[in-house]
Each structure stands twice: as C-alpha cells, then as structure tokens.
Amino acid sequence: MTKTSQHNVSNAERALLVGVGWKRAARFPGMPAGEQGRVSLAELVELAKSAGAEIVGTVFQVRDSADSATLVGRGKLDEIRAEANAHQAPLIIFDSNLSPVQQRNIEELTERRVIDRTQLILDIFARHARSREGQLQVELAQLNYMLPRLTGKGTAMSRLGGKSGGGGAGGAGGAGRIGVRGPGEKKLETDRRRIRDRVSKIQTGIADLRKQRALRREARNAVPLGTIALVGYTNAGKSTLFNALSQAEVLVSARMFATLDPTIRAVRLPSNRRVLVSDTVGFIRDLPKSLLSAFRATLEEVQEAALILHVSDISNAHHDELDEEVLKILEELGVADRPILRVLNKVDRLTAEERESLKANCKGKMEHDDGPVLVSALTGEGIDELLRRIDVALPTDPLVSLSLRLPLSQGRTLALIHALGRVLRSEVEDEDMLLDAEVPVSIARRLRLSDYVVEGTSKLALT
C-alpha cells in the first residue's frame, strides 16, 4: 500500500520524505493499520522544515515487516528514486531509524544522500544548542552516531587492501585482489581513532561542565525553594506557558526543539511562596537514548524537580498518544513516580462544543484538585488557577509568623526574608531591624531565625 503527496517546491534544499507504517504495530483503539506511521510522517515534515529543508513530496508504505537490507524493499526503492529524480531532490529523509547497512544500500540504489530520523533530529539540535554543554552534547551524539557508519570507499579507504587469508580478498592464500591494494584499513582506522579521541575529550569537557553546574545548583539550594519542571511533547507550548508563569522572555517558536538549554526563573505563588520553574527540551516519539543522555543538562532539572508539570496540546487530535510517549520518557528518567500535574494547554483553539465537553469530562477531578488544569498560555486563561494548583500540589512548607530583631549587619538575611517571605512591619531601632514577618518554615530553619526571635513564636517550631 503506497501513498504519494506533493508539496510546494522552493530554492531551499529539496528533500523527499519516506515513511513506513507497520500492519502489526500496537495502536490505539479505532486507529487503522499504518495510521501511526502516517502521523509520524506528518511530524517528520515539521522536523524537516525546522532543519531548513524544502519538502518536495512524501512517500508512504505499509509493510508487514522491515526489509533487512533496504527497509522498504528494492521495488519501493525504485519508486523512491523515480520520485527524487522527478523533483530533483538530492536528499531523502527516512522517518525510521536506519541501520548502517540499510543506509549504505539505499544510498547506492537511489544515488542520493540519505539520512534517517535520528540524524535529522541531531541536525536540528545542532542548530539550536546555545550553551557550551549543549553544543558538546550534540557533537558527542553526532560522533557516536557516525562511528558505526564510517566506511571505506575506493582505494583511499578500502577495507580490502593488504594481505588476506584463504577465502578472503585475495582468494586462497592470495595477497589481495588486483585493484584493491592500498592503504586499506589504515585511513579508516585513523579516522575512527580521531573520532574516539574527540569523543574522549568531549566527555571530559562535559564532566567538567557538569561539576560546575552541580556547584551552581548547590549554591541555589543553599536557600531551599520548591522546583518545578515543565515537560511535554515538542510544540505543546511549554515555553509560552513558561513565559506566562514567570514573565520571562524565553524564545517561543513553532519550530520543533526551539528550546534545548535549560532556563530557570523564580515564580511567586498565591501563598507568597517562591518557587523555581524550569523550561525543558520537548520530547518526541522514538527519541534515541543517546539523545536523552545528550541533554542531561536540561533533563537533570526534571530529575531534581519536586513537581512536574506535564503540558499537553489539547487541540492536537493525537494528544493522548503523544502523552503516552512523554510518560515513557519520564519512566526512562526514573521520575514517573514524582508528583505530576497535568496541564491541558491551547484551550483557545477548541471550539465551544469541544471546550464544554472537555470541562464536563474533567469536572469531577478538577473539583478535588487532582485533575488536569485547562489553560491557554497564549491568552493567559487559567494561569491563576494553575498557580493555585501548583501551590496545592507542592510539598507543604507552612508559613510561620515571627517577630524578629536582627542586626543591620545581617544584610543578606534581611534581604532573603524580604524576598522569600512577607514582611508585615519593620522599623529600625539603634543598630537593629525589628520585623514582623511570615516566612516558610524551611527558610526560617535554614536562616536560623530562631536566634533572632523576640516574641510570638516558639523556638521549637523552628528547630
């Protein structure tokens, strides 16, 4: 079963996209065979656009199983080659992850440059990484991807050069067939050794940057604040929501993976508590584990979070399936048991009937503060309710009322009380500051405010 669709052509790099659906693949109830492959191919179109490609067409095939040599079979490759010739597309992008053998065979039979889904995502990550660690992680993932695909071509990198034993390149006892003698494995092994050396240097550099980040986190944790991580499928609107919560100006883009490096901002909740909110990289189906490790910097914020906001694009017809992909990755990160608050974003895109139906389905749970929160990060609808629900969901850190006398020399402590608590009254008396304030218990303990209590609070409450 095949399907070919046309797209507008421009002067950008032309690319033909190839998707494969599997008849026996697990699917959601009511979803026809191969539908997941079609949805994934539509996602590949967006990925390719994010990489700067001009899509000249898509080819789709439904198969029982993958062809070990070419994935789609030689007959289908002839059709793909004809499509690429017709549209003058020098690049073919496969939605599946190709083995090194499959990639080489397809390139030879189509006479085109061929990349797979993983290589495309790596290219997008390379475009968007801004921090030094992000750039190193991308290069590391690219080199690890390239290493098993490095192969010799011609005599310059021939793997058949030199002497060989019986049945080898030179036949029984021969010293190598005519025309293939040469440096043989030498250049190939030199290239591999260079890659391995570069990988080792990158890993050392990443380890050093990780130590620096751990020190920064330790300094940040010197004053304990609840941490919240935004996670969700790519393009769910996390960065827009992050901006709405924190009044920050993080890049918002319709392109996939526009946010790679972690961004952290402080947000004040209705109870006057301050928390740290972190925006993270968007997840995507079939994300290779090498890419998960490649973005440890942003995903570490998820692992450190006291609360995870799982953001879904409720206007996407396949949002349930995409949510399942996000949960799989959270399980791989070992944080699936962390408190998770579901946020259904982009309700402004729903029709009136869809919105009423959604509210009716969520009504019972929402009344008990254990259901999803409906928001539109773009218009600001539901943001106040989301902040309230975050306040409820975060581990309890009750406020304690204190009357304090602090020396004016304790400037840092005074500043933190103003920043992390609520000062009700203050006046200067001689060289001291008299304060009536409400402060989270954890902050009061960390700042040892029991040493400065005058009246109104038992010191036992702070020990």
Q: Which tens digits make up the pLDDT trace of 274-322?
A: 888 888 777 887 776 666 665 665 677 787 788 999 999 999 988 888 8
Q: Which helix (H) or strand (E) holds 460?
A: none
In this prediction, residues 73-93 reach a mean pLDDT of 95
Nearest to 329 by CA among 279, 263, 285: 285
**Is pLDDT larger for residue 161 or for residue 275?**
275
Q: Give percent of the chain with pLDDT exceeding 70.
A: 76
Distance (Å, whole) CA 304 – CA 199 = 27
pLDDT for 177 beyond 90: no
Those residues whose C-beta lies under 8 Å from the C-beta of residue 91, and which sit 6 or more positions away, are 13, 14, 15, 16, 53, 112, 113, 114, 115
Question: For residue 158, what are the β-bridge partners?
Answer: none
pLDDT in tens, 440-449: 877 787 788 8
What contacts 442, CB < 8 A, 6 or more positions away?
224, 397
For residues 261 and 294, give the distance between their C-alpha atoms in angstroms, rounded to a whole number: 11
pTM (two decimals):
0.69
Alpha-carbon dihedral 268, 270, 271, 275, rounded to 10 degrees: -30
What is residue 336's predicted lDDT score, i.e. its pLDDT? 81
* Bridging pattern class, strands 453-455 and 399-407: antiparallel
- Does the pLDDT value for residue 7 go beyond 60? no
Tokens of 377: 């990060």
Gyration radius of the chain over CA positions: 29
User: How far apart, in Å, are the Cα atoms of 71 and each of 97, 106, 107?
Assistant: 10, 9, 12
Structure-token pair, residue 419: 């920043």
Range of lowest pLDDT (119-133, 163-177, 395-409):
163-177
What pLDDT, on a 0 to 100 scale, did the predictor assign at position 33? 67
Residue 197 has pLDDT above 70, yes or no: yes
For 5, the 3-state DSSP assignment is strand
Q: Which of 162-171, 313-322, 335-344, 360-369 has the lowest mean pLDDT?
A: 162-171
In sequence order, the 6+-apart residues with CB closer than 8 A to the CB of 281 are 234, 257, 259, 260, 295, 298, 299
What is the per-residue pLDDT for 36? 83
Q: Please tell me the predicted confidence (pLDDT) of residue 16.
A: 96
**DSSP three-state, residue 426:** strand
Q: How much is the average pLDDT of 322-346?
A: 88
347-393: pLDDT as tens digits: 999 999 998 888 888 876 656 667 899 999 999 999 999 999 998 88
Residue 173 pLDDT exceeds 50: no
Residue 90's closest CA among 113, 116, 57?
Answer: 113
Whether residue 168 has pLDDT greater than 50: no
Residue 167, pLDDT above cutoff 50: no
Say if residue 203's pLDDT is above 50: yes
Angle at 138 between CA 221 and CA 192, to 5 degrees: 130
Average pLDDT over residues 423-433: 90
Q: At 5, is the pLDDT very low, low, confident or very high (cuts 50, 70, 90)?
A: very low
- First-to-last alpha carbon distance for the chain, in angstroms, is 71
pLDDT at 70: 94
Residue 248 has pLDDT above 70, yes or no: no
How many Å apart are CA 12 and CA 27, to the nearest integer?
Answer: 36
When the pLDDT of each residue in the chain is averaged and rounded to a whole number, the result is: 80
Closest of 323, 255, 318 to residue 36, by C-alpha: 318
Report d(CA 25, CA 32) in Å as an integer.
10
pLDDT at 121: 87
pLDDT at 330: 87
Q: Higher model confidence: residue 126 or residue 258?
A: 126
Q: Given this model, what pLDDT does residue 107 score?
A: 94
Angle (CA) 371 262 238, round 5°: 35
- Candidates 319, 255, 304, 250; CA nearest to 279 is 250
Place 256 in a pLDDT band, splitting at 50, 70 and 90. low
Classified as helix, coil or strand, 283 is: strand
For 66-73, the CB contacts below 8 A with 24+ separation are 66/20, 66/96, 68/101, 68/102, 69/101, 69/102, 69/105, 70/102, 70/105, 70/106, 70/109, 71/20, 71/96, 71/98, 71/102, 71/106, 72/18, 72/20
